[in-house]
Chains A and B, each alone.
Chain A
Amino acid sequence: MRPLTLERLLLRCGLLALILFGVVVVSLKMGAVQVSLYGLGRDLIQVLLGRSSAISTDYGMIVLDIRLPRILLGIVVGASLSVAGASFQALLRNPLADPYVLGISSGAALGAIIALIAETHMAISPELAGLITPFGAFIGAAVTIAAVYLLGMRDGQIESSTLLLGGIISASFLSAVIMFLMTTLSGSNLRGTAFWMMGDLSTPQPKSLLYLVGIGFVVAAGAIYTTSSDLNLLLAGEKEAMHLGVEVSRVRIVVYIAASLLTGLAVSVSGTIGYVGLLVPHVMRLIWGSDHRMLIPASALGGAIALVVADTLARTVTAPSELSVGAMTAMAGAPLFIYLLRRRIA
């Protein structure tokens, strides 16, 4: 493989960004309500020029107020999950690591459900009510991450196989608790949670929350990117990295916290979406190698592309009914994962 140069990096990122842009345009066009490509292009240009009054009202509402925020949400969530997945895989030196497998998503789901239950028993102003569930999800993710981290510790060292097993066990335990709660409490608010647990981008989130997630992504992904050279060395093993001058414990803390933040934020607005965090980094690694200076931005863009495509399919395949995007990623992701697995063995 040829060495990574700055030009090559920018070229590849640019290519992915271009693909993402194309996917976004197509996704803006597609949906339950028909929109012509010509009309879409004309209106987007008008929006950028600030002449928005030329757009008809309900058309503007559908494309700009329903579809575009949803696509932007998909971009941020997909990018967050993929970067988190790539980081966990490097940190634990295990190709199976991803937020879903580590139980973090289940923890977030449980947090969200507890928040929903609490919400029905409290009188909360409607502005705050929309933020309670995401907040609960974030707390759930954070607590699970801490618990799984402690489970994975052995003599002050992280043992990646123990951590993964701890994550898997936590995930199944948390799912059982969720089932218990959903069976014993038959409030109407819980009905949506089954849908939510499959991953869902269809619910518009409060604007403030979207900005928060966007800023969180930039900060956390930036923090992970500053450690990308260290992550490369970590792949050789923790001792080896230490001998080469890497502050292993600092890198571990930074990456773990940042990746957890990414996961918590993503799950809090979209529910549990599997396979994106697992597969996108693998695919990017296959194409461009495992240099994290390339892998992390590529994963971010690739994850965004993958999730926007999956969500576009989820809302168009059975229109006007919607599939959950988590079902879509699992349906496409599981066979792809098996293919990659067999390929690696062969």
Chain B
Amino acid sequence: MFLILSLLYLFLAFGVLPNGVFAAGINTDVALPVRKGGFVFRSQARWIRATDDATSLDRDVNVVAVPNVVLYGATPDLSLFAIVPYIYRNVKFTDPSSGKRVEEGDKGIGDSILLARYTVYARDYPAGTARFALLGGIKLPTGDDDLKPITTESIDIPLGWVSTITRGFGRHEVDADMVYRINTKADGFEKGDELVYDLAYQFRVYPWTLPDVGAPNFLYIVAEANGIFSQKSELNGETMDNSGGHALFLSPGIQYATRRIILEASIQLPVIQNLNGNQVETDFVLATGFRVNLP
């Protein structure tokens, strides 16, 4: 079972916890601040479907991941994140020995991540802002063993950066991020290191013209490119040929923002999947979620 599931790891690692869960983009991080002493809660449901299997296993995989994130503004420049995902996984495949279709499902808590984002450059204008921040954190092996290899026993380190530029009183926003995940060995298994990169553009369609008073609710259309490079993994010292590779998704979405709540939805469609070996390829990732400014 582990070997069957490990072949899915590239897209599962990307689909379960994209960079965007860390903050304000749908699948992409942003460098906008959390007020000092303030809390934001975020939850997102991500449905990852993968059925494109070239092998006789004919794998049919559905994973629903619900990362829950608490953001805290320690200072105007330093935001802290705690992420705990809940994961449901269902896999159907053809047992090679019996030829029968087998279905297995697991659910439970995924590995937790603690993250810090520090703004090193900020330039605010009357109609926009330009910011650059550094990211760093730790992934802890707190997840359920039944969800391996989505969960692992290792302590891993994500490091990266994120940038946000807004213009035109919120009409346009461009976000970009890049995170390198240093994955370590535990229990004989070492996931390949990963480089995740994202680029997002948001365009405000409503209101088309800002009213003379107040701060109205905004409706954005969002276009993202979300990619991941992954090295091959190792199991008991042996390189796993059916692991690692490169995938790139294009992700249209919408986002509705008020003072207290943001609602959002996005579908990620693969345009590049150069996966090593016989890994099952992703059909799509559907994400929907909300964010709340806590009082």
Q: Do A and B come from one complex?
A: no
B residues lining the A interface (CB < 8 Å):
none
